[in-house]
Amino acid sequence: MTAFLPDVASQAASDTLALDWVGMQGIALPLRLHGERLGALADAGVSLDDAAARGIHMSRLYLALSRLERAELGPRLLREVLDDFLASHAGLSRRASLRLAFDALLERPALVSPLSGWKRYPCEVHAQLDEQGLRLELRLRLAYSSTCPCSAALARQLIQQRFAADFAGGEPSHRDVHTWLGSSAGIVATPHSQRSFADLRLHLREGLDSLPLRELLDCAEAALGTAVQTAVKRADEQAFALANGQNLMFCEDAARRLHRALAQRDELDAFGLTVVHAESLHAHDAVARSQWRREAP
C-alpha cells in the first residue's frame, strides 16, 4: 500500500496574496537546435493568481520541460511547453513563462582563406504565454571590432605631418613614396580598435515556424562589417584590417547600423539594442542604445 504523503502545496495559504512569478531557475536540460543537441539552463515559472493557494506544483513545470529534449527548439514547441504549464495549473495561474539560456555554436568561414571555425553566441529565448497569446523574445550577443573614426583621422594627420617633414622641399618619386608608405617610420600612428559587443533583444512576430537565430545574427554581423573571426591566416588578417578601415565606428555608428538593418526584418515586431565598445583609449566603455517598434498598419 502506498504511504500517504502530505501535499502542502495543495493546502490553503494562511497568508493570502497573489504572486507575479513562481517557479525554478537554473534547470539544466538538453535542447535541440539546428539538429544538434546542446546544453541549456532554463527558468520556468507561472503566476500564482489564486491568492488562497499555498503554492504551485514545481514538479509539473519540471516534467513539462522534457518536451524540449525531443524536438527542434521553435515557436510551436515553446507554445506546447507553456500550454502544459498552464494546463497543469488550471485555476491557479494565468501566465506562464520560460527562459532558456544557451550558447549557439555557428560555423563561420574565414574572410579569404578556405578555412572555417566555430563561433560562440550567447543566446536567450524568453517565452511568455497569457490571455494575450504567446510572446517570444530572442536575446543575442555578438562580438565585433570597432576602430575609432576620430583616432583614425588623428593618425592620418600625424602621417601627413611626417610626410611633410620627411619630404620637405623635395619631389619624392613614386618609388620613394611607395617605400615610405610601407615603413613604420612613415606610417607613424595607428588608430585604436576595441573588441565590442552588441546585445540584441528581439521581439519575434507571431506565426513564425522557426527561430530565426542564424538569420538575425547574419544580418547584424553584415550590418557591422567587422564581426570577430575564427580561423585566421595572414591573408584573413589583412582582409580584416581592410574591413576595419572601411567600417570606422563610434558606438553611435554601430547602434545606427544595427537599428537600420534590424528594422527591415520581417521576423521582428520590436527590438531593443545596446552596443558596448570596450574602449582601449579609456578604462571605461562607450555605450549606445536604441529601440524600435513596428507601427500599427
Ligand X SMILES: Nc1nc2c(ncn2[C@@H]2O[C@H](COP(=O)(O)OP(=O)(O)OP(=O)(O)O)[C@@H](O)[C@H]2O)c(=O)[nH]1
Instruction: Give me the residues that bind ligand X (CB under 6 A), please.
Output: 7, 9, 55-60
Q: State which residue, 55 or 149, has the beta carbon closest to ligand X.
A: 55
CB of 44 to ligand X, least distance (A): 12
The distance of Cα 255 from the centroid of its chain, to the nearest Å, equals 14
Nearest residue (CB) to ligand X, 9 versus 158: 9
The backbone torsions φ and ψ at residue 215, rounded to the nearest 5 degrees and listed phi first, read: -60, -40
- In whole angstroms, the minimum distance from the beta carbon of 124 to ligand X comes to 24
CB nearer to ligand X: give 88 or 229. 88
Q: How far is the CB of 61 from ligand X (least distance, A)?
A: 8
- Of 122, 25, 38, the residue nearest 72 (C-alpha): 38
Report the residue number whose CB is nearest to ligand X: 55
How far apart are CB 208 and ligand X at their closest, in Å? 32
Question: What angle do helix axes 251-262 and 213-224 make, rounded to 10 degrees?
Answer: 140
Minimum CB separation from ligand X for residue 50, in Å? 12
Q: Nearest approach, Cβ of 8 to ligand X (angstroms)?
A: 6
Please state, as a whole number, how many other Cβ atoms lie within 10 Å of the Cβ of residue 248: 18
Give the residue with the Cβ less far from ligand X, 60 or 94.
Answer: 60
Nearer to ligand X, 60 or 233 (CB): 60
Nearer to ligand X, 64 or 140 (CB): 64
